[in-house]
Each structure stands twice: as C-alpha cells, then as structure tokens.
Structure 1
C-alpha cells in the first residue's frame, strides 16, 4: 500500500451527528490487539458508549490471529485495530480486499515486566536482565511470534541484544524454540498469568505495564522495539456509519487524551493506502504533512 503522512487536525472534536435511538444503540464491533484490553474496555469503549453514537462491542486477541480470522471469514466486525501495520496488507488486494486504508495512530515500546513477588524480582533490579532470564527455574511468558506482533518483536529484541551485548546464542538460551510451549501464551491471558504468579517475567508493551502498574525494565535504545498501532474500517463492515463514528472518536482529542492516560505514545496519524476511500467523517482530523 502507498504510504502518506498526515498530522492531527486542530479541530476541537467530532461534529455532532443527529441519530435515531436505534442508530445510537446499534453495535459497533471492534477487533483489537490484546495489549489494548484495558484501554478499550475501561477507556475508549465506555467513553464512546457515553456519547450515544453507538454501542461498543470489543473482542481482544493477538493481532495476527485476528487478521487470520478476518481473512478466513471466521469473524466479522466493523473495525480492526492491530499492533502491526503490515497485518493490514494481509487483508488487502489479493487477500479478500477487506482493507483499503489504515491509519497508524499510536506506538508503545516493548518492556520486560515482572512479578514483584517472584523470587527473581530482586535479581532483576540488581543484575542485567539477560543474565537473570537465563537462570534455572525462571518462568518466562511471551506470545506466539507467528500469531502476535508482540511475540515477533520479543524474538527480534533478543536477536538485537545478542549483537549489542556480543552474546551469541542469547535468544535461544532465553526463549528456546520460537514456539516453546513452556513460554508461549495467548496475548489476552498473559497479563493475568503474571499477576496470578504463574510466570515470573514476561514481555509486554509499555502501555500494559504503565496501565496495570506492572514493575518493568526499560530496554536501551539500541535494542528497543515497539508496537505500531493502526486502525481501519473493514470493507464489509455491517455497520459502516457506526464504525466511522467510532474511529473519529478514537482519533479525536477526547480519544487521544484517553490513550495518553493509558500510557500510549501518540504518533501521526499516518494514513496508508487508498486516500480516496477514507470516509469523509475522518478527513477533518487529518491534514497533509510534509
């Protein structure tokens, strides 16, 4: 897809839209990256509902798994929010043509989060993280690198660390096989496993550790990797008008303020794809950039 840069417009908000009671109650189904669970269910979703412009219905999962389900016709929705821009291309022309444009609106760097009750917590505060993660008995949680961008970024970060710290084989010693069943967990359950003490340490985005007050270790700039969140309206959306109102809220000042409170870094927004297919309701929030 062709990439074009845009900056957020200076409008104060979305123009009011007169809706019938039926339109206001019509569900807007949103498939979103599991790392945004708290943001969507405690922030964006309730705030959108309160506007009376639709009824938010969210479903969280690994972005890759959700993209596969959309492509295979296993899930239908109005809106798809991914943690990896390239997943939108797997739903474009030649792949069902369900995505013709997408907007990158936020990012969040990968962090190492840990259980403060873990017997390894003191070591994580005092010793290099890559040494502690190789200790016998440590329970590591991560997501599937095939089904979830966070899992792929975890592998990428460990590979960068090998080069940065001159530690050949570090990734395999810490992670084992890419699909290591002792570590790989569904994205939507990984936080819960850490909080319940089932794992000692895991790989999370900063929005998750900040939002849920999980102690974390920030990674240095030479190895840090990040999620890049995108939003699109699926071409076969059952309720396209509701989808437009939802995305307008997400990109508008109120939606972005909620995102900031939940620890996301604002970017762009950047539009990629067919600009002519972008709904008119979203155009006031975007202005040509350099």
Structure 2
C-alpha cells in the first residue's frame, strides 16, 4: 500500500510539473507588457494622467497589452531638448507650443505632428494674495507693481508659458500705451526688450525679490496656494484644474484669439537657451510620435486614443479646449488620418 501511495504521489507531481511546462512559468500571463515614455508640457499633466489611466484599461481589454507609463512633465523646450540634446529615448512628445516640433524635431526625430488643443494666459491667485479683492482685468499691472506684491512666471528658456507670459507683458505695452514691460520685467530681471523684440538671456537673473521664476509654470502653483507668492501667469486650464481664482486678460494680449494672430505677431522673443526667435501667436499644443520610438505602434494607438472622442472628453473635463478637428502636418500615419485634418 505504501508503494502504491508513493507511485500515486509521483504521478500527480509529474502531472503538475507537466502542466507547468505547457502553460508557462508561474505568475506569467498571456498578455504582453509594454512601457510608453511620454515627455510633455507641465500644463498637460492632469489631463494626460487621466488619459493614461483610461488608455491602460482600454489597451488591456482591447489590445491585450498591459501598459505602463513613464510620464515626464517639464517645460516644453526642456522636453524637446531631452530628445535633441540629451538623446533620451521617448515614444511621444507633447508640447504647449506646437511650433517647437517643426523647429526642433523635424526632420531628424519625427516627420509629422498634430495640433490638438488651445489655451489662454491668465493671472491666477488665491484669497491670501495681496489686493485679491481689488485686482481685475483693467488694473492688474498696477496691482502687480505695488510694493510688497510678488508675482511669478516660468523660465522662458525652458517653458512656453514663460516666454508667453513675458510677451503678454510686452503686448500690454501696446494695448494700454504704458511702460508695463519695463516696470514689471526689466526693472526686476535681466530680461530686456529692444522695441517689440524681447531677449531672454540664457541665465535669467533676478534684480529684486519681486519676481519668482521656476522651470515650468506648474512649479509655481504650490507657492501661490501656500500664500508665499501672490500672483502668477498661468494657463487658464491649469488655474481651473487647481481651483485657483484668476482674472482673464483682454483678447489683444491673452494669446487665445486666432483672429488676432497678426496683432500678437508684433512681439517676438529670442531665447538664450536655443538662440531661436519666437513670434507671439495664438496658443496651440502639438504632439508627435518619434521615429525611433521604442514602442511606436502602441504609441500610435495612444495618439489615436488622444485624438478621438475619449481624448476630447478628458480635455473638456479638465477645462481645456480641444481643436475640432485636430490638424496634422507631414507624413501623417494611417492610424490617425480619419481623426485629423491633414495639411501640408
């Protein structure tokens, strides 16, 4: 009986081992796993996090892929330079200024790009901010100039929100016929203007403690929320996402009105970080999949998800306007052609 029992145990053990060999290693699933690396503008952080979560569920159900994201938020100029200067690998690059893609990534790193969302510059604050009960769309520059008031914007060399904020203050000169740029920017930093041409030195220096500058615009959010900073120039969508108070600026200076593109274009800025000159223009976001993307096919599926109804819904929920339809340039992939208007 003992021999029979031993024989039965041996047979059962062999059966279990055999099944293990057939089905694969313990703990493994039949699904593939993949990582998508995305370099994107800081102002896209909240909608992209939501979109990534939704795409992960979609991909697991419909594509049989478990997707992980390596998500890196930064100023858009810095995001692009990670690819061009540091030669870091990424699948997708999404910028707050679409022109950075044709200027810096085409043709060596990508051969197409898509314009997909818009925004506007506002001045955000909380009830802790000095003169919070007085500031409005007509006196904002007077409030920012008051003694004791501290305001901020992101570094123009790293971030489109930074160079847009600076150009907004130069456009304010033209609109209000007052030396607003000199009062707010030149007296407090080494950023300067010659007529309507602004220059941002490679190393930004502060002359006073009135202005705070950080690498990307979302870095300033916590400072305002804590009360250590009174005001900052930021995208409307980010102010809404963080439940901040804000004032809107006239359409002639807020960079949202496509009909005022020629008016905005009177002002331009040269960046010390790249040597490139950028004209003020309506705010439009851009996205691309890189030529050498480690997971290019999956990245294109994510882009398709972004440009489709799911992406539009996520951006609408996060208070950011989506282009309808998005506009694509270059060698546009077949996967997204039915979701975009192809130009050029």
1:1-290 equivalences in 2 (<5 Å): 21-22=31-32, 25-41=33-49, 43-51=50-58, 52=60, 53=65, 54-88=67-101, 89-93=103-107, 97-125=108-136, 128-168=139-179, 170-175=180-185, 176-177=188-189, 178=191, 179-181=204-206, 182-187=211-216, 188-226=218-256, 227-267=283-323, 268-272=325-329, 274-275=330-331, 278-287=332-341
Distance 2:47 2:225 in 1: 18
- Structure 1 runs of 4+ off > 4 angstroms? none
Q: For structure 2, which runs of at least 5 residues remain unmatched after alignment?
A: 1-29, 192-203, 257-282
What CA deviation, in whole Å up to 9, does each residue of 1:77-112 have, x standing for no partner?
10000011221121223xxx0021100000000111
- 8 Å contact from structure 1 (residues 46, 56) kept in 2: no
Structure with bigger RCO (C-alpha 8 Å, 6+ apart):
1
- 8 Å contact from structure 1 (residues 92, 98) kept in 2: yes
- 8 Å contact from structure 1 (residues 48, 55) kept in 2: no
Q: CA deviation at 1:47?
A: 1.1
- 8 Å contact from structure 1 (residues 78, 243) kept in 2: yes
Q: For structure 1, which runs of at least 5 residues remain unmatched after alignment?
A: 1-19
Q: CA deviation at 1:123?
A: 2.4
Q: CA deviation at 1:189?
A: 1.3
Task: Look up the SS of the partner of 2:145 in the other structure.
Answer: coil
TM (norm. structure 1) is 0.84
Distance 1:288 1:118 in 2: 45
Change (3 A) 1:204 1:287: closer
Please, what is the CA RMSD of the aligned residues?
A: 1.9
What CA deviation, in whole Å up to 9, does each residue of 1:170-222 have, x standing for no partner?
11311232334442112141212222222110011011011111100001111
Change (3 A) 1:142 1:180: farther
What CA deviation, in whole Å up to 9, does each residue of 1:29-50 have, x standing for no partner?
1111001111122x21211112
Q: CA deviation at 1:266?
A: 1.6
Count of aligned residue pairs for this structure pair: 261
Task: Look up the SS of the partner of 1:204 in the other structure.
Answer: strand
- Pick the structure with greater CA Rg: 2
Change (3 A) 1:86 1:287: closer
Distance 1:263 1:239 in 2: 30
Which stretch shifts more, 102-111 or 186-195? Answer: 186-195
Distance 1:164 1:125 in 2: 16
